[in-house]
Structure 1
Amino acid sequence: MNSRRDFVEQTVTVSAASLSGTIASAHAGSQPHPQPLWQRLYPGYRNMRIKTSGAEINVVTGGSGPPLLLLHGAPDSLVTWHLIAPQLAKDYTLVLMDLRGYGDSSKPDGGADHAAYSKRAMALDGVEVMAQLGHDRFHVVGHDRGGRVGRRMALDHPDKVRKLAVLDIMPEHYLYSHVTLGFVQGYYHWFSFLRPAPIPEEETLVRYSQAAAKATSEIEREYARHRTNPEMIHAMCEDYRASASIDLAFDAADIAAGKTITCPLLTLWAAKGLYPRLFDDVLGVWKAEGRHVSGRALANATHNLQESDPSETLVELQAFLRD
């Protein structure tokens, strides 16, 4: 019988060979499109790469009306808005950006304290992008990590954000101070990603590459193009590491100072998601974050509200954003 050490060594060898094949298969199934996917999803929009003080941000903009900044979640990109953007563009000038570290934006080094992926740094990207496009004040809608960036933007730049909508998130400081077994089991990656590189990155690359090999739609293949990029995976882990360290310090300072969000704030969450199972009063938690807070659960939505229930998400956003 082989020793335990022999078994481990054999497992590692097999896993390494399997990973190599899986990654190759994933990339074979996600070759670049003849033209960027955003061109077909957002026809007539402009694409540009805007340099901020800390990154280079991939931006798509189109539509007409008051400016509206859309911020995606992890591990996604600006294509996540493709089901609701056409209707929003009838009333708003949309600015869709890939957060730093994600999509086709640059992926700077996080630094020893992960500060490059703090929500403060990522929020500043958004403010600087909007300024370079000539938008001094604007609405913000953010899903998942993008909602966290939007929250920090509203706190740090209250003169810039007219209204803020956050989709299927809870404040980070609240989650990390209310850890339960259910939360750990449901969002284990929140803790897995905090481990030092490269183990979380390597594990995530295996998982995403296996999923990418099964991608069938062009949207899935576009997501796979980014999710099998080791630089994106490392940046995403840095994003989560920042959330559990430097971001918590920023939140603690704001809480101690009594600082809250002053603009109107809408929070929407998935009735079928994790948060209503873990917390009795999701809206109540958010009411402590701002002065003018409203929101509700969407009955038919899962985590990606804008993709799982685009019609109801759109109704809520249009009603909220309307002046």
Structure 2
Amino acid sequence: MPQQTPAIPGFAYHHLLVAKDVVLNVAVGGTGTPVVLLHGFPQTHLMWRHVAADLAADHTVICPDLRGYGASDKPAEADDGTTYAKRTMAADVVAVARALGHDRFALAGHDRGALVAFRAGLDHPDAITHLAALDVLPTLDMWDAMHGTTAAVGFHLYLMAQPPGLPERMIAAAPDAFFGHFLDLWGTDPAAIPAPIRTAYLDACRAAVPSIVADYRASAGIDVAHDQADREAGNRLRMPVAVLQQDWGAALGFDAEALWQAWAPDLHHATVGYGHFMAEEAPTDVTKTLRTLLARPS
């Protein structure tokens, strides 16, 4: 696999086997207790470049490209939806940490990466010491919250939930327009994603349309089933949890903090005034939140 360009300065890049025939591109820097950072859509591990550099002063910081994204492998979607189930992707993350010598680690995710982190926290509670989620709801709650005309903001969720074929063809017909739409719409500071980084994101997405769609399709199927099973079993996140979110709950008519509290008894929840790409728009605030979380007893 080619190394992602540009890269996080000072970080070493590894290609780590996490499952049969699946290798992830992983940036690693710093020394100290481990922290794994998972990117969101439509980005790669590069979204953490500012936060990762700060945390690397006293932590081992691990930034993978999720399977299906960036310079990581993009296996074909299985008929049963398991290839891009968040359960599968969470197992990838645990495998990455173990390959680097860490059986226990803190985990933070943004957007899609936060859904993977959430599933890792439920499936691997003995491995995750602390968990942070940026600007997302757990999958089950997200679908419950989307209703009426306000759900138009999430049109891409419904598009990519469709059976294989149509969404892939539609997005592949104009990938830069599709993925660029979200980079433009969801941010509040265009300078936060400079041209070389934006180009890297669009290049990566253009090469990953089927796997990105498969990731979203899983969140309309198998991921919902996994969340529902955990809710019915009363399973919750046992580690300290921090959540940063925009105040889009007010517009859609739900209480984001209450929804998270049902899953995470040891919760710190904060509503922020910057855009969706908060690790790039407000890296100092995000890093402060993560450091505060890491200081809480696990």
Tell me the TM-score normalized by structure 1.
0.83
Partner secondary structure for residue 187 of structure 1: helix
The equivalent position to 1:222 in structure 2, one of 193, 200, 218, is 200
CA contact (8 A) 1:298 1:312 kept: no
Partner secondary structure for residue 35 of structure 2: strand
Unpaired runs of 5+ residues, structure 2, are: 182-192
* Matches for 1:83-102 after TM superposition, within 5 Å: 83-102=50-69
Partner secondary structure for residue 271 of structure 2: strand
The equivalent position to 1:79 in structure 2, one of 46, 57, 76, is 46
The equivalent position to 1:255 in structure 2, one of 208, 231, 246, is 231
Which 4+ residue blocks in structure 1 deviate beyond 4 angstroms? 211-216
Task: Report the Cα offset of residue 169 of structure 1.
Answer: 0.2
Label 1:36 to 1:252 Cα distance change in 2 as closer, same or farther (>3 A): same
Label 1:104 to 1:196 Cα distance change in 2 as closer, same or farther (>3 A): same
Measured in 2, the distance between the counterparts of 1:115 and 1:262 equals 25
Tell me which residue corresponds to 2:189: none
Measured in 1, the distance between the counterparts of 2:150 and 2:71 equals 31
The equivalent position to 1:233 in structure 2, one of 209, 218, 227, is 209
1:322 aligns with 2:284: no
Partner secondary structure for residue 263 of structure 2: coil
The equivalent position to 1:141 in structure 2, one of 108, 113, 119, is 108
Partner secondary structure for residue 50 of structure 2: coil
Residues 68-77 or 170-179, more deviating? 170-179
Letter in 1 for 2:282: D
1:245 aligns with 2:218: no
Residues 144-153 or 219-228, more deviating? 219-228
Partner secondary structure for residue 83 of structure 1: helix
CA contact (8 A) 2:82 2:88 kept: yes
Task: Report the Cα offset of residue 192 of structure 1.
Answer: 0.5
Tell me which residue corresponds to 1:283: 257
Q: Give the number of the structure whose alpha-carbon radius of gyration is greater.
A: 1
Partner secondary structure for residue 37 of structure 1: coil
Partner secondary structure for residue 63 of structure 2: strand
Tell me the TM-score normalized by structure 2.
0.89
Measured in 2, the distance between the counterparts of 1:211 and 1:237 equals 12
CA contact (8 A) 1:182 1:278 kept: no
Unpaired runs of 5+ residues, structure 1, are: 1-31
Tell me which residue corresponds to 1:51: 17
Task: Report the Cα offset of residue 178 of structure 1.
Answer: 3.2
* Matches for 1:89-238 after TM superposition, within 5 Å: 89-210=56-177, 217-229=195-207, 232-238=208-214
Letter in 2 for 1:75: P
Measured in 1, the distance between the counterparts of 2:141 and 2:151 equals 14
Tell me which residue corresponds to 1:36: 5
Measured in 2, the distance between the counterparts of 1:63 and 1:276 equals 39
Measured in 1, the distance between the counterparts of 2:255 and 2:135 equals 14
Describe the superposition over 1:215-240 as per-residue Cα deviations: whole angstroms up to 9, x where unpaired.
971101111211211xx111111111
Give the CA RMSD over aligned residues.
2.1
- The number of equivalent residue pairs is 283
Tell me which residue corresponds to 1:305: 278
Measured in 1, the distance between the counterparts of 2:195 and 2:279 equals 17
Partner secondary structure for residue 56 of structure 1: strand
Task: Report the Cα offset of residue 213 of structure 1.
Answer: 9.4
CA contact (8 A) 1:212 1:221 kept: no
Describe the superposition over 1:61-82 as per-residue Cα deviations: whole angstroms up to 9, x where unpaired.
0111100000001221100111
1:292 aligns with 2:258: no
Describe the superposition over 1:89-127 as per-residue Cα deviations: whole angstroms up to 9, x where unpaired.
112100000000000000011211211100000000000
